[in-house]
Amino acid sequence: MQLLTKILHPPITPSFTQNGVKSKGYNRFLLLLLMVLVSFTSKSEVYYISNSGNDSNNGTSENQAWRTLAKVNSFIPSPGDKILFKRDDEWTGTLEVKSSGFPQKPIVYGAYGSGEKPKLYGSKQVNGWKQYTGNIYQTTFSDPAINQVFIDGKRAKSARYPNTGYLDINQVNGKNSFTSAQLENGINYTGSTVILRAREWSISTKQVTASSGNSITINSAPLYDLNIGEGFVLFDKLKFIDEPGEWFYDKSTSTLYLWAPSGDSPENYEVRASTVKNGLFADAKKYVTVENLEFLHYSVEAFSLNDCSYFTIRDNNVLWPDGRGIYLGSKSSGNCTFQNNIIKGANHEGMHIIGESHSILDNSIEVINL
């Protein structure tokens, strides 16, 4: 209250006016006064989300919990509000941060109840499997964004050729064409994806546009010139499924193919496919806390923060994103805290943080840059 009294009854100084015109300092004073008044007078609420809830509820008690992420994302929280997900429950989609908090009244996204952390998935469950041939099964799955498949929580391997290591370039035919004696002559590789290891520090992804014998042509020249002895791997061909645990998605027919670990039907497992880009998205927001949640299987980034400051990301599990675990862009971001998070299985970076005066403390980061 002493702070409020001082602001409501400030000493009168000539700096507030110049030639009868209110100065910038006076405008800043009014803005600060408004922020403090709102902070003191606004009432904070706690909102609950449960798999057994209903979006027509008011959300302000466990018995009146909301149900869906869509409902949460349609709501604009006020400074000091808490949005809490029920432990042991799960959702699929992106959690969108729609507003900022105040320094002493951050907006909090967290958990309530007992049990495991609430799970937010970037993957959808896949069912309806039928035998295609031998140990390979197929199902229709209409989502072209698939870039990961999980079998009972373990990341499956996208079918590739060869199964391990690299093939070698034996002859360079041009800026975007090469020959490898290790390629099988009887396969048409057109339409597949090639990963080129052009340098020890650089990997390029290209599309195969033509195939003849053991020579292939790609859609454009890589960043670095092709050279004899450099390695490459091929993906995205049904022909490449040749061992347990591999999958292939045919975008042209919306068909997912899978060889389950024991060669049996994938219906005997929980199969999930990554389709959602980001787990939590925030743009130009401040004073937000995200804690005690678990983000799994996102196709790009689990946390995607742009130009955000005074965020606290703590005690979360970030598991198996295809891109980054936590991304904070923009040099103007600052004063964020990342603490006690578990980040595991990112195919690219565990954390990519830009800005100033951030605190990164006691996080566990493992199995990354795969």
134: which 2 tokens? 């031998």
The alpha carbon dihedral of 154, 114, 341, 59 has a sign of positive
State CA 141 to chain mean position distance.
21
- Half-sphere exposure (Cβ direction) of 130: Cα atoms closer than 13 Å: 5
Rounded to an integer, the average pLDDT of 235-260 is 95
Mean pLDDT of the chain: 91
Q: Let me know: does 259 contact 135? Beta carbons within 8 Å.
A: yes
Q: Is the pLDDT of residue 320 over 90?
A: yes
Question: pLDDT by residue (tens digit) across 248-271?
Answer: 999 999 999 999 999 999 999 999
Give the contacts of 237 (CB within 8 A, at least 6 positions apart). Answer: 159, 161, 187, 189, 191, 192, 248
Distance CA 189, CA 74 (A): 46
Residue with the larger pLDDT of the pair 300 and 38? 300
Q: What is the pLDDT of residue 15?
A: 46
Q: Let me know: does 106 contact 290? Beta carbons within 8 Å.
A: no
3-state DSSP helix/strand/coil % of the chain, to nearest 5: 10, 40, 45
Distance CA 227, CA 216 (A): 14
Q: What is the pLDDT of residue 38?
A: 53
Q: Let me know: does 344 contact 295? Beta carbons within 8 Å.
A: no
| Measured CA angle at 198 (ends 193, 199), to 5 deg | 140
Structure letter (DSSP) for residue 252: T
pTM of the model: 0.85
Q: What is the pLDDT of residue 261?
A: 95
